[in-house]
């Protein structure tokens, strides 16, 4: 508060302002001004001291309700009496002469409030006050509180010692308010159903979910903030708990946010005060993935901790409270050291990947609590709900149920990799799962699931497999099988029946084109519309063509997984002689982000069935090959390239002795090419989890290269894979010559050496051609004899070098004379002269004379005497001529190059 002195008429007055200041006014002494202001200030303080205490609002300005437990002495309860505990979060003692506890129906907002008067009492800073809402002799269930209550609520009618049958609080849903007067609150239809200046704090509690089939939800309609505090008093489990502030010093006036479902703790007026620190209070945001794990299934908890300030939190610890009645387990430490599922050490995110205790009853929705403490005594308990068992193992990310880990729908088609359609299931959880009453369903490209294949009664153990065939063993033919593994008769656990219910050797049930497949825990068709949120959907995989030619619109996550189509970009697929070369497989059988594009790749099936030794998944982080790349991403054969991949090791147990290899056989390299993380072979930094290999392709099909599968294995048996995206560009070649021009007398021959050198691994057969300008016979002879390369076809090794010779002829070498070549025009000209000479001597034959002159010129032109002149001469006329020599690959027309030669004929 601040004071300013202002003049009103002839008098000075004090007024409050944002900053304390004294401004002298003309004619007023400072001492007089200070006296008047001080008097007003003291009056203001006295007035405020007599005013009612702070309202029910956020912050630590008044008494707060710390805990409410309303199941005292009921069957299953661990405590004997209903309990309310008050707490003083302020820095000063608070006296309460006329306070009251008021109760209200949690489901009828307009009902009247019931007032229970409290005696006069005071609570020091950080102190407590414990109130009983029922008699210790009401029943024999539960233990008597280890410390005495400060007060037991009286009945309204008598105002005297309560009878032994009294039980004031509700064990399922209710509202408790603390007021600084004993006047009833005004009922309201709003969610905060009590109003009045006397209200200090209010807690509405109830359960908005049914814990199991024998209970019903009991949501509260009256509460402070966004929702009621979660409280389960309808089961024996829930009656062992109450609602307690997550941090006694945090009040956001939001019951849902401020309270947690915990076993009651007891503090009375004799308990050691624990004043609240200043500054930021210790807190944490708690989450679980998945939110619906199965009993024995893996689940990862995270607590993002905000430390306290003034003083700063030190020595923070976080524990998962699996010791509550719901789970029957033990408290488990959480980690911020990069282990046990924690991603980054020291970032304030405490993590634990663990399994749901086997003592947990499946099918319930339970709160899972995490408690955070520091060395200063600050404590915070956060919570997140777990739908244990989910809804019949419903669909979520994580390892909470069975997964499809391999799919192949092209069994025995022309030039296929495998002889039978194949689906392999895997159990990544820590408990056995029955598939009784389950089915495999296909839904075309849109997810319209109408085809249902019933699965047999079977139980898949933790880490176990189940192999399903979509076609019969006698369906395999030599025409279809061309791979090394195609004819192997794998021991499948089950062959799908036709929709009519029979199984045949000629049956081929699965699709080799775009399809969506679902694993369902029902034999009823899931229906249309891509039912990705169906309670019966266990796993969903949409499979579309790798080149995008045949997509699907139903899939999990960002996009679909891919399959190898019969044609790729319109050209028949041929991968080492195989058309349907790859299956759709998980990168890691234990990895599931519920994103088909991220979880699956084109690869080979690691065949396993129910007799394969179970291979349980790690409890912590799963091993993954997070990135796989080539630098540069596009090169030619024999060009240097560095392949890199980043590997995230598994935790719990931690990966050791990680080895990384890649199948580079489609580049002419080893199928088990080793990668390095030791600073050699192209690796930049040793031991950073980035594995590298610098190498060069020695062969390969031009274009996108498939099947570059990088695999990471550890000593614990974990395997993670990914595919390296890579494009092999067509090689090129250069053409050079010492000179591309020359001058020569007509009739001569020019020769030029041309060197052809392969680049980017080019090797092949080149066809050499030559064109002339301005026309094909521009030098008087056919182009085939004017411009000749030796040889006209050149075979070049990969990145090889060769020289050809180019000869350009500028005419024939016939001698001069009247008959030194073809007679043609020369002979005709001489005959014409003889016939016309007779009429020349007369003037009247001028026309004939003119014709004679023209013919004479033509004859002279073709029979001129001189070098290379004469009848039949084909030498080039003087001038400049252009020739283009072109070399083109015999198979790839786009691989071509040329040289231009300029010839001057003198």
Do 483 and 419 lie in one domain? The reply is: yes
830 within a domain of the structure (yes/no):
no
pTM: 0.50
Average pLDDT of the residues in 768-783: 63
pLDDT-derived band of residue 721, with 50, 70 and 90 as boundaries? very high
Based on the number of CB atoms within 10 Å of its own CB, is 781 exposed (0-12), middle (13-18) or buried (19 or more)? middle
Do 252 and 363 lie in one domain? The reply is: no
Distance separating alpha carbons of residues 596 and 540, to the nearest angstrom = 8
Do 313 and 373 lie in one domain? The reply is: yes
The values of phi and psi at residue 608, to 5°, are -150, 150
665 within a domain of the structure (yes/no):
yes
Q: How many domains does the chain have?
A: 6
Do 554 and 474 lie in one domain? The reply is: yes
844 within a domain of the structure (yes/no):
no
Which residue has 């970009």 as its token pair? 569
Q: Which of 252, 103, 124 is nearest to 179 (CA)?
A: 103
267-319 pLDDT, tens per residue? 999 999 999 998 999 999 999 887 777 777 778 899 999 999 999 999 999 99
Greater pLDDT, 324 or 506: 324
Give 823's contacts (C-beta < 8 A, 6+ positions apart). Answer: 871, 872
846 within a domain of the structure (yes/no):
no
Do 736 and 803 lie in one domain? The reply is: yes
Could you tell me which residues are beta bridge partners of residue 83? 69, 132
What is the CB-side half-sphere exposure of residue 415 using CA atoms within 13 A? 14
Residue 332, number of CB atoms within 10 A of its CB: 17
Do 255 and 288 lie in one domain? The reply is: no
Residue 162, number of CB atoms within 10 A of its CB: 20
Distance separating alpha carbons of residues 220 and 229, to the nearest angstrom = 9
Question: What's the CATH number where 313 sits?
Answer: 2.60.40.10
Do 765 and 662 lie in one domain? The reply is: no
Residue 528 has pLDDT above 90, yes or no: no
466 within a domain of the structure (yes/no):
yes
Sheet with 640-648: strands ordered across: 624-631, 640-648, 690-696
Domain end position, chosen among 729, 746, 780: 729
Question: What's the CATH number where 176 sits?
Answer: 2.60.40.1260
Do 109 and 223 lie in one domain? The reply is: yes
* Amino acid 784: pLDDT: 52
Do 366 and 454 lie in one domain? The reply is: no
Do 272 and 233 lie in one domain? The reply is: yes
* Amino acid 851: pLDDT: 53
Of 202-211, 498-507, 611-620, 716-725, which range is least confident?
Answer: 498-507
Domain end position, chosen among 694, 729, 764: 729
845 within a domain of the structure (yes/no):
no
Residue 14 has pLDDT above 60, yes or no: no
Do 132 and 267 lie in one domain? The reply is: yes
Could you tell me which residues are beta bridge partners of residue 202? 177
Residue 829 has pLDDT above 90, yes or no: no
Domain end position, chosen among 390, 420, 441: 390
748 within a domain of the structure (yes/no):
yes
Of 35-39, 62-66, 192-196, 627-631, which range is least confident?
Answer: 35-39
Do 549 and 503 lie in one domain? The reply is: yes
The domain containing residue 753 runs over which residues? 732-812+876-905
- The per-residue pLDDT of the chain, averaged, comes to 81
651 within a domain of the structure (yes/no):
yes
Q: How far is CA 5 from the centre of its chain?
A: 65
């Amino acid at each position: 508060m601040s004071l300013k002195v202002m003049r009103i008429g002839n008098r000075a007055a004090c007024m409050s302002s944002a900053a304390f200041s004294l401004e002298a006014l003309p004619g007023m002494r400072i001492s007089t001004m200070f006296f008047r202001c001080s008097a007003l200030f003291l009056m203001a303080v006295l007035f405020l001291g007599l005013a009612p205490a702070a309202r029910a609002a956020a912050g630590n300005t008044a008494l707060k309700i710390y805990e409410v437990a309303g199941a005292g002495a009921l069957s299953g309860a661990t405590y004997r009496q209903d309990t309310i505990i008050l707490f003083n979060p302020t820095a000063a003692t608070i006296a309460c002469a006329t306070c009251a506890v008021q109760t209200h129906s949690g489901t009828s907002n307009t009902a009247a409030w019931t007032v229970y008067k409290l005696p006069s009492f005071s609570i020091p800073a950080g102190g407590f006050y414990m109130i009983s809402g029922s008699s210790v002799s009401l029943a024999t269930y539960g233990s008597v509180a280890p410390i005495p209550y400060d007060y037991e609520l009286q009945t309204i009618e008598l105002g005297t010692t309560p009878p032994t049958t009294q039980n004031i609080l509700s064990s399922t849903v209710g509202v408790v308010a603390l007021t600084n007067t004993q006047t009833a609150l005004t009922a309201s239809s709003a969610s905060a159903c009590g109003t009045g200046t006397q209200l200090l704090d209010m807690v509405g509690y109830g359960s908005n979910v049914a814990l199991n089939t024998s209970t019903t939800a009991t949501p509260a309609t009256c509460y402070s903030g966004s929702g009621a505090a979660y409280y389960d008093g309808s089961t024996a489990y829930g009656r062992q708990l109450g609602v307690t502030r997550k941090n006694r010093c945090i009040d956001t006036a939001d019951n849902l946010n401020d309270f947690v479902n915990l076993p009651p703790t007891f503090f009375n007026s004799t308990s050691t005060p624990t004043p609240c620190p200043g500054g930021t209070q210790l807190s944490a945001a708690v989450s679980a993935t998945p939110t619906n794990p199965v009993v024995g299934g893996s689940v990862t908890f995270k607590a993002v901790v905000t430390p306290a300030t003034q003083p700063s939190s030190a020595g923070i610890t976080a524990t998962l409270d699996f010791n509550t009645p719901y789970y029957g387990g033990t408290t488990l430490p959480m980690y911020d050291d990069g282990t046990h599922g924690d991603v980054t050490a020291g970032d304030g995110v405490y993590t634990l990947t663990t399994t749901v205790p086997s003592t947990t009853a499946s099918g319930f929705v339970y709160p899972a609590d995490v408690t955070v403490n520091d060395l200063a005594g600050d404590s915070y308990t956060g919570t997140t709900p777990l739908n244990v068992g989910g809804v019949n193992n419903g669909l979520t990310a994580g390892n909470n149920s069975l997964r499809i880990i391999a799919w192949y729908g092209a069994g025995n088609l022309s030039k296929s990799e495998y002889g039978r359609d194949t689906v392999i299931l895997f159990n990544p959880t820590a408990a056995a799962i029955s598939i009784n009453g389950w089915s495999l369903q296909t839904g075309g490209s849109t997810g319209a699931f109408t085809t249902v294949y019933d699965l047999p009664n079977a139980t898949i153990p933790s880490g176990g497999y189940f192999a399903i065939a979509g076609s019969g063993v006698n369906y395999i033919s030599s025409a279809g099988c061309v791979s090394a593994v195609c004819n192997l008769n794998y021991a499948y656990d089950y062959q799908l029946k036709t929709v009519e219910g029979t199984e045949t050797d000629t049956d081929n049930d699965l699709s080799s084109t775009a399809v969506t497949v679902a694993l369902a825990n029902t034999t009823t068709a899931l229906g249309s519309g891509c039912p990705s949120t169906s309670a019966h959907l266990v796993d969903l995989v949409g499979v579309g063509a790798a080149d995008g030619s045949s997509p699907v619109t139903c899939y999990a996550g960002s996009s679909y997984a891919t399959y190898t189509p019969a044609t790729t970009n319109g050209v028949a697929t041929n991968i080492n002689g195989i058309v349907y070369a790859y299956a759709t497989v998980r990168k890691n059988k234990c990895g599931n982000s519920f994103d088909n594009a991220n979880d699956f790749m084109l690869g080979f099936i690691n065949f396993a069935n129910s007799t394969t030794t179970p291979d349980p998944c790690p409890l912590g982080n799963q091993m993954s090959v997070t990135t796989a790349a080539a630098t540069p991403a596009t090169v030619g054969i024999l060009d240097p390239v560095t392949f890199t991949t980043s590997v995230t090791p598994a935790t719990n147990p931690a990966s050791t002795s990680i080895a990384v290899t890649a199948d580079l056989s489609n580049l002419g390299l080893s199928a088990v090419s080793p990668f390095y993380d030791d600073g050699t072979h192209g690796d930049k930094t040793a031991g950073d989890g980035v594995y590298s290999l610098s190498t060069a392709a020695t062969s390969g099909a031009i274009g996108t290269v498939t099947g570059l599968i990088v695999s990471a294995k550890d000593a614990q048996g974990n395997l993670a894979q990914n595919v390296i995206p890579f494009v092999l560009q067509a090689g090129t070649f250069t053409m050079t010559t010492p000179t591309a021009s020359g001058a020569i007398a007509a009739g001569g021959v020019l020769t030029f050496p041309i060197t052809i050198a392969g680049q980017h691994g080019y090797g092949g057969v080149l066809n050499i051609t030559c064109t002339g300008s301005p026309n094909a016979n521009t030098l008087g002879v056919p182009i085939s004899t004017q411009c000749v390369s030796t040889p006209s076809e050149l075979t070049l090794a990969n990145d090889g070098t060769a020289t050809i010779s180019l000869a350009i002829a500028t005419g024939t070498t016939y001698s001069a004379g009247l008959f030194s070549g073809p007679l043609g025009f020369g002979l005709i000209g001489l005959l014409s002269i003889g016939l016309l000479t007779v009429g020349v001597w007369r003037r009247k034959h001028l026309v004939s004379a003119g014709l004679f002159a023209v013919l004479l010129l033509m004859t002279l032109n073709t029979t001129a005497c001189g070098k290379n002149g004469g009848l039949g001469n084909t030498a080039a006329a003087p001038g400049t001529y252009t020739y283009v020599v072109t070399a083109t690959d015999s198979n790839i027309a786009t691989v071509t190059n040329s040289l231009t030669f300029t010839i001057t004929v003198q």
